[in-house]
């Protein structure tokens, strides 16, 4: 293929072209400065990101994932455009690119996967729950705020139609891990800025919504360690693992700790059961070694800062055997009890999007319980039953279990290392996040629904590809 020569006017000695480019750049800097310094600071990054994503659904989806994970909630709220959050704006841009690609490149040829029907069923049930909410008289503003999050799972079809298997198993997991590294930096810096380093007596718990990426990134890194450490090298993987792990510990999130432990056990079991591992004990040794290295890192961090990380973590861990020690756990149990009573009123279809609950919540500022009205719960499964009823729970379970089945089947049939790394990592992540759903609703409520919708799509894309190479022999 021959490359067409550039136009005659595109040359270094074209002074008119140079003056024109400089003028445009000056206007891009000075123009927004006339309105706002904040706006001026956004122009450059926005142009770079736009050029990166231009007319590529795959690159736009990578940008969508990274921006959705990395940006703190305060920044997302400040960057709202016409009522849309930044990730929603990027999502709509990706839809626009997808329509152009579908018409002019794919000639309206839609790519199918085995999870299309469950995903479509879940989205249809979500829309049905909007009708239920309207019939129940729920406020329209709350309905619109609620339904946007489960509808994020529409990103599943963008991924399955416009992302190839190689990008799905290599580029997207890497983007998630690097985004987790950025989030870990945010957590560590926030922690360092909140405690008093001169005395080291204060502990500040860093708890933000985008911290959900930390256990996901750690499990993906562990899968790389176990199945193909030579691809990036062990030391670069350790360099990524330590700061993400440190930030993960600083969250002091009991639900995330349990979920990560379940995911780690799943990953160790998968590696022990298959993958041609001649020495099964090495799996346990490697997993324990990484946990011990992480513990040593936390210990050194504690000695350096003087912060009582270990004491605070131990105190919160005691609630596993004595939940009455934590007033916040009691408040969560109040919410669960109220939700179950409400679910019993309309168990089949639920109360629809926009439904609210009123129950006592402990206010740390006033040191007493107060009656709060909320539109979300710290439980994925109770929230599904509450908003969408048994029908919604069944639809969500159908989709979730189908994706888990595809991920595990891909691992069984995988013949190359990169596919095994991806399938093992996603299987462990899925099991961990389904466990996390017992005490958290981020899979269905909040911006991380985009991440899980994309992850489901990536699993479906890789599972769609035929197995290549020698397949590992799994133990009976």
DSSP secondary structure of 201-270: --------GGGGHHHHHHHHHHHHHHH-TTTT-HHHHHHHHHHHHHHHHHTT-HHHHHHHHHHHHHHHHH
Q: Roughly how many angstroms between the first and final C-alpha of the chain, as a whole number?
A: 52
Phi, psi dihedral angles at 89 (to 5 degrees): -65, -45
How far is residue 52 CA from its own chain's centroid? 22
User: pLDDT digit string (tens) for 294-315?
Assistant: 777 766 766 666 565 555 555 5
User: pLDDT digit string (tens) for 327-357?
Assistant: 667 777 888 888 899 999 999 999 999 998 8
CA distance 272 to 179: 29
Q: How large is the average pLDDT for residues 231-247?
A: 88
Q: How large is the average pLDDT for residues 139-159?
A: 93
Is the distance from CB of 459 to CB of 426 less than 8 angstroms?
yes
Q: What is the pLDDT of residue 43?
A: 60
Secondary structure (DSSP) of 277-309: -S-HHHHHHHHHHHHHHHHHHHHHHHHHH---H
pTM, 2 dp: 0.84
Neighbour count for residue 96 (Cβ, 10 Å): 13
User: pLDDT digit string (tens) for 160-186?
Assistant: 999 999 999 999 999 999 999 999 988
Q: How large is the average pLDDT for residues 242-249?
A: 87
Two structure tokens written together for 181: 């590294």
């Amino acid at each position: 293929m021959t490359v067409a020569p550039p136009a005659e006017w595109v040359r270094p000695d074209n002074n008119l072209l140079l003056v024109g480019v400089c003028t445009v750049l000056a206007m891009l800097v000075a123009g927004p400065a006339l309105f706002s310094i904040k706006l001026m600071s956004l122009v450059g990054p926005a142009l770079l990101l736009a050029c990166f994503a231009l007319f590529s659904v795959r690159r736009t989806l990578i940008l969508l994932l990274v921006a959705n994970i990395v940006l703190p909630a305060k920044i997302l709220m400040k960057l709202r455009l016409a009522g849309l959050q930044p990730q929603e704006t990027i999502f709509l841009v990706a839809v626009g690119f997808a329509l152009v690609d579908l018409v002019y490149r794919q000639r309206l040829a839609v790519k199918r996967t085995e999870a299309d029907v469950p995903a479509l069923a879940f989205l249809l049930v979500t829309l049905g729950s909007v009708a239920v909410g309207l019939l129940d008289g729920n406020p329209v503003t709350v309905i619109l705020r609620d339904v946007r999050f489960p509808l994020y799972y529409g990103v599943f079809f963008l991924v399955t139609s416009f992302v190839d298997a190689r990008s799905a198993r290599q580029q997207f997991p890497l983007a998630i891990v690097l985004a987790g590294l950025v989030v870990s930096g945010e957590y560590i810096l926030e922690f360092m800025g909140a405690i008093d380093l001169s005395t080291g007596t204060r502990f500040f718990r860093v708890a933000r919504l985008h911290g959900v990426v930390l256990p996901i990134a750690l499990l993906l890194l562990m899968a790389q360690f176990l199945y193909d450490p030579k691809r990036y090298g062990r030391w670069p993987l350790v360099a990524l693992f330590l700061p993400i792990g440190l930030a993960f510990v600083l969250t002091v999130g009991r639900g995330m700790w349990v979920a990560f432990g379940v995911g780690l056990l799943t990953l160790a079991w998968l590696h022990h059961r298959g993958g041609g591992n001649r020495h099964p004990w090495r799996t346990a040794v490697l997993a324990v070694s990484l946990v011990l290295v992480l513990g040593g890192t936390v210990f050194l961090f504690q000695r350096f800062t003087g912060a009582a990380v270990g004491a605070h973590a131990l105190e919160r861990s005691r609630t596993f055997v004595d939940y009455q020690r934590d007033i916040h756990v009691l408040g969560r149990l109040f919410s669960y009890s109220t939700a179950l009573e409400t679910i019993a009123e309309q168990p089949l279809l639920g109360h629809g999007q926009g439904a609210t609950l009123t129950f006592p919540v402990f206010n740390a500022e006033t040191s007493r319980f107060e009656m709060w009205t909320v539109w979300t719960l710290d439980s994925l499964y109770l929230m599904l039953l509450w908003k969408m009823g048994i029908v919604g729970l069944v639809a969500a379970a159908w989709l979730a279990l189908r994706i888990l089945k595809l991920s595990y089947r891909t691992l069984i049939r995988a013949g190359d290392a990169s596919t095994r790394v991806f399938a093992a990592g996603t299987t462990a992540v899925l099991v961990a996040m389904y466990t996390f759903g017992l005490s958290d609703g981020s899979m269905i409520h909040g911006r991380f629904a985009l991440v899980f919708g994309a992850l489901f799509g990536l699993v479906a894309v890789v599972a769609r590809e035929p197995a290549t190479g020698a397949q590992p022999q799994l133990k009976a």
